[in-house]
Every structure is written in C-alpha cells, then in structure tokens.
Amino acid sequence: MANTYITRTPGSTSSSQALTISVWLKRSGLGANNVIASAKQNGSNYADLWFNSSDQLCWKNVHGGTEYGSFVTNRVFRDPTAWYHICFDYDPTASTNRDAGDRIKLWVNGVRETSFSSSANPDSDRWAWWMLNNIPTYIGYSFILGAYFDGLMSHWHLIDGTGYPASNFGSTDSTSGIWKPNTGPSVTYGNNGEFLKMEDSSNMDLDSSSNSHTMTTSGTLTATKDNPSNNFCTLNSAYRYSGTLSKGGLNYTNGASWVGLPATMAVEKGKWYWEVKLTAITNWTQNGIASAKLDGGYNSLHSIHVGGNSGAASLNTGGGDIYYNGSSSGGTWFGSGNSQGEIIGVALDVDNGKLYFASNNSWGASSNPATNTNGYALPSNITDNLPIVPAASVQDCTVDYNFGNGYFGTTAVASAESDGAGFGAFEYAPPSGFYALCTKNLAEYG
C-alpha cells in the first residue's frame, strides 16, 4: 500500500468514545515509519497507530498538542514472512468500569500486549479522533508522520461505540495452533463503523459492513492472492542490504553494488514454480536459488550476487547462462542473454535436485521440468544443505517477482494461470506437478 491510502470523513459524531480497530497485515518495509491508520483535525489534534523506525508498534492520541493516551511496545515486529493480526480496543469511558490502566488494550495474534517501553492512559471520557463529525480518517497513511503503510492489508474492521477483544476477530486453529481470521465476526459496527475485506479486485475499498459507507482511495490498491489464510512467498526485507524493496516485497531495485536477497519461504522437498519480470534492465540480474546453510547462510548474499559462491545458483540474464560458484557452469540457456520485459519462469525440483528456466514460457536448453528432462543438476553442496530458498540479485536493474501473488508491480498478470492445486495467479501455467510457494501448498507438498 506504499503511496496509497483509503479515507473517509464521518458525517456525524459517534454517541460513544469507545472504538475497536482490527486488521490483518503483512509487513514489507522495515526500519521506517509504517502507518496502519490515523485521524486528523489539524497539527495539534490527531491520532496515529503505526510501526516506528525501530519496528515497535505505537499509538498516540493528541489534543491541543498534548498527548492523552499513547503506547510504544517493547516488542518489535520485524517478520516479513507472516501475517500479523492487530486488534486495538480504545474505551476511556467511566461507564464501562474500566480503571485507568485498562482503557487501552492491544492484542497481536490473539495475545494481549502488556510490555511497553512507554505508555499513558487517556483521561476518562477523552475522545480519540476517530468517529468525529468532519474529522477525516485514513487507512495506511498519516499526514502528521508523512508516512504510508508498506505491505499488505486484509479484513480491516473499524468499530464505532464498542470495545471488542481479539477473540471476536480470530481464533487458534486446533490442529496447527496458528491464529486464524474469523471472516464473519459477530459485531455491531455502529453508525461510523466499516469492514473492508480488500479482496474484490474491482472494488478494493468496498465497505462490507451494514453501513455500506463510501470510501475514497488515493493511489492504486493492488489485489493479491496473498492473504491471512494462505500466505504466499515474497522477497525477504529482513535481509535487504541495499536497494529498494517495495510493492509488498515483490519489486526489487538496486544500484551498482552486487548484492543478493533471499525470499521468505524455504523448501526441503517438492517442486515449485515462480516468475520474474525483467522490468527495467540497465545491467544484469541473477535469479535463482540459495542454500541457507553454506557460506554464512543468507547473510553471505549481502556481499555477493546469487551464484557468486558455492551456496547458490542462478540464471545470469546478461549472458543467458547459469551461474554457480563465481563462474558460468550450467551452459548457455538463452543465447546472448535476456531482454527488458521478458518474463523468466523458474522451476525448482528439490526431489530430483534440478533447476529450470524459461523465457516467456519457452524452457531453455531443450528442457522440460514436467518430464524431468535436461534440467540443470544442482551441485551436491546445495542439495546436501537444504533448505533452499528463491533468491535474487540485481545491478542497476529492477525486477518484479510473482510467486503466484498475481501481479508484477501493480499490474495484474494477464492470464492468471493457477497451479495444479488451484492456487496462485501466474502469467504462464506452471509445469505439471509444480506448485506456487504458499502455506497451503507447503503443508501438502513441502
């Protein structure tokens, strides 16, 4: 949602100061202000809920330039691989019999946060700035902080007049023990409440609450197959050493330095497919795989490109050859190289220890991953050191990855081909027996 936000200005004031915010989100940008939501009358009257530059979760409610209710968690939130559920309950009213220490409640993935580096409870009956007549509210942006949310959001609930716990919006799966969303919670939204599922690609800011409010989007909201119930792979911002990672962790731009970047999901078996679009090619890119266990693991990619050591192998798009241990060792797959705009298909067969590359759906070197024909045989010091992750490196280039998420940058794939399990949206159909890197497929095949 970077550079994009959703806004609405209530036409009336709520009858109660109580409110609840519940949202599922997946972080991409780390180490900078990332705004979940805000409300603002002016520079002296506002409220913000955000991750700060230290990746702590923060809340601030300001009246006349003075804080009335705030917190900063001790805990930091630096996991770009998973979805978080944030539930924030604000209710300063004396009529609810809450003491001063119980007027603000915060849950993350169903567990109440109780450890804060700083906190201040609001006065009794002190309004937050949401739900007030003619006070604009924002999802994913703060004018005070001048910052957006960088990542993905789903199932946004804003409740007017009632404080609800996290258990209204999620529950623990009895088999996996994972906190999962309740997609149809039994709640009362109040006059100014709203529920945005953010799943209809033709109407991303649709309010599915009983209020059916009209929301306004500034920027471009991009639909994705990635969601709290089926988490998809992205590039891993926690290991970003240089360059810019954006658009939900799928757009990677870097300058003159050669550095690599791993993805968020590792595999020890199975067959997997993903796509890379060469969006802006000034120099070269390497796209392939890396072992987590060799040459310092993922951190070794900070100082070397993918294929520059014995822990990784990649397609060098500048020469169309496969690169391993610092040299071309897998033969030339695509003549003199690859061009801007090409879509590179990558098929990883962990079971047979092979790697395949396609250019615009034409598999190189007369290979066919579906029949285990002519793939690049991964060296033993990769196959003997599982797990394996997708990995990328770029020099003066921009690449867009699609692990089945359904788009390159902000442009949806044209064909929307799913894998054999029915998951993902790719430009080209995955080879038979190969699957998108997502949690449902990993549970079944990985």
Percent of the chain predicted with pLDDT > 90: 71
Residues 6 or more apart in contact with residue 167 via CB below 8 angstroms: 110
* 108 contacts 102 by C-beta, under 8 angstroms: no
Residue 15's pLDDT band (boundaries 50, 70, 90)? confident
How far the first Cα of the chain sits from its last, in Å, is: 30
Fold entry, domain 237-445: Jelly Rolls (2.60.120)
pLDDT at position 295 is 56
pLDDT tens-digit profile of 199-236?
888 899 999 999 999 999 999 888 899 999 999 999 99
What CATH code would you report for 5-218? 2.60.120.200
The residues with which 23 forms a beta bridge, in sequence order, are 86
This prediction's pTM = 0.92
Rg (CA), the chain: 23
Does the structure show a pLDDT above 80 at 112?
yes
Q: Is 277 helix (H, G, I), strand (E, B) or coil?
A: strand
- pLDDT-above-70 percentage for the chain: 96
Distances (CA, A) of 178 to 111, 156, 169, 183, 228: 12, 20, 14, 15, 11
Q: Are strands 327-332 and 321-324 parallel, antiparallel or unpaired?
A: antiparallel
Do 5-218 and 237-445 share a fold?
yes
Identify the pLDDT of residue 245.
86
For the chain, the structural domain boundaries read 5-218, 237-445
**Mind listing the pLDDT tens digit for each residue in 239-287?**
777 788 888 899 999 877 777 889 999 999 999 999 999 999 888 899 9
Q: For residue 12, what is the enclosing H or E element?
A: none
Question: Residue 380 is inside which H or E element, if any?
Answer: helix 380-383
Pair 92, 123: CB distance under 8 Å? yes
Q: pLDDT band at residue 99, thresholds of 50, 70 and 90?
A: low
When mean pLDDT is compared across 90-99, 222-231, 284-293, 345-354, the lowest value belongs to 90-99
Write down the residue that tokens 């040299």 correspond to: 327
How far is residue 402's CA from residue 409's CA, in Å, rounded to a whole number? 9
